[in-house]
Amino acid sequence: MAESVEHTFLSETALNIMEESSNAKLFACKESGRKRFDFSCDITRDWTRAVSGQTLWKHDRDGIDKDLRTLLTDGEASAVVYVARDSVATRGRMDEIIRDYRNSPLRASLSKLRIFWVPADFDADDEHAREVVRHGLRHDMYQDLLLRVALGGITSQDVRNFATSGRLGYPAWILTQISKDGFLDNYTKASKRYRMGIPALKEEVLRLQLTGMVSREENEHGLIQVTEKGHAMLDICAHLYRYLSGENEESEEFLYICKLLGMEFPLFEPDGQRADFRFYETKSEMLPFGRLANNAQLMLTCLYYSSQHGEMEWRPPRFKLPGSQ
């Protein structure tokens, strides 16, 4: 059966959204050549994570079952995506199949499944409808796929918890130093290197542990190391520091990820004046801190003070394109 215009549009759009997201420079994304799926790609940070996807537009009950089984039996994928036409019948059939899989050997694979719904009356020949659907898919895929799979599951609340320390700038400073050292094994030695008291250091490391940015479970020796989420936070901080320092402009995709994490820096002023460290120095009395502040204000404050504790080394994100040397 020939693919419908809607089916083709949705498959191509899902892949394009993931490829364009790499403009944020937080990871690399490249289409993979597997023909088993409607679309597939590799998302790379420190290692490659495969994403496979199927598109549902006109399938019958058996077609839905086949699609889900194809996705869930893909042992190479870190995440599997189903872009599906929304209807009561389709939701009912999917719920039925998923319930069956919960009692089968495939139950462990269900955690990899992401379903993105498309309005049933979508017409791919309508330009406005294409834009509405693309915008909705972009938001859902960034929020539920890229942040959770490619960036270690970082959330807006994680950003807020990270930046609300009363010791201004210390969360970014300490996370950077642990990443640079490779691990933290001795608070006495670390307190001397970081030039802060042991009680304060322990409290800040506990804050990072509670946000999931450092952990003792990353290795068999029980050392505190930066997690995947913590490395993602450092990469975001590095981009933001350069952006707020006026060193470079950032891509629309990166600023969109910041927006999903509760950070909309261009919106501090009614006239849209760009917020940067110069803005902070002249308008700092306008920026509340703590419960009343938004994530953008908290991060601006955190990064502004981070370099006050010593030289900061903001390393570029560590990734390479799939297949490159």
Per-residue tokens: 78? 């870190």
**Taking residues 165-176, what's their average pLDDT?**
90
Which of 292 and 257 is assigned the larger pLDDT? 257
Residue 29 scores a pLDDT above 80: yes
Mean pLDDT computed over 255-259:
90
Give me the pLDDT at residue 273, please: 61
Name the H helices within the chain.
Answer: 5-21, 61-72, 88-101, 127-141, 156-163, 170-181, 187-194, 198-210, 228-244, 252-260, 277-283, 295-306
d(CA 136, CA 119): 10
Q: Can you tell me the mean pLDDT for 81-92?
A: 93
Phi-psi region of 305 (alpha: psi -120 to 50; beta: other; left: phi over 0): alpha
In this prediction, residue 324 has a pLDDT band, given cuts at 50, 70 and 90, of very low
Instruction: Indicate the burial class of 302 (C-beta count within 10 angstroms; 0-12, 13-18, 19 or more).
Output: buried
Worst-scoring range by mean pLDDT, 50-64, 97-111, 278-292?
278-292
Per residue in 293-314, pLDDT (tens digit) is 788 888 888 888 887 776 777 8
Closest CA to 154 of 42, 265, 230: 230
Please report, for residues 26, 60, 237, 251, the alpha-carbon distance to residue 319 in angstroms, rounded to integers and kept in the order given: 8, 41, 16, 18
| Angstrom distance (rounded) from CA 19 to CA 22 | 6
pTM of the shown model: 0.83
Answer with the residue of higher pLDDT: 282 or 22.
22
Burial group, residue 17, by CB count within 10 angstroms (0-12, 13-18, 19+): buried
Whether the predicted pLDDT of 322 surpasses 70: no
- Amino acid sitting at position 16: N
Instruction: Give the model confidence (pLDDT) of 231-240 as tens digits.
Output: 999 999 998 8
What tens digit of pLDDT does each residue of 184-210 get?
A: 888 898 888 888 899 999 999 999 999
pLDDT at 220: 63
Contact 179, 230 (CB under 8 A): yes
Full DSSP string of 63-99 = HHHHHHHHHHT-TTEEEEEEEEE--HHHHHHHHHHHH
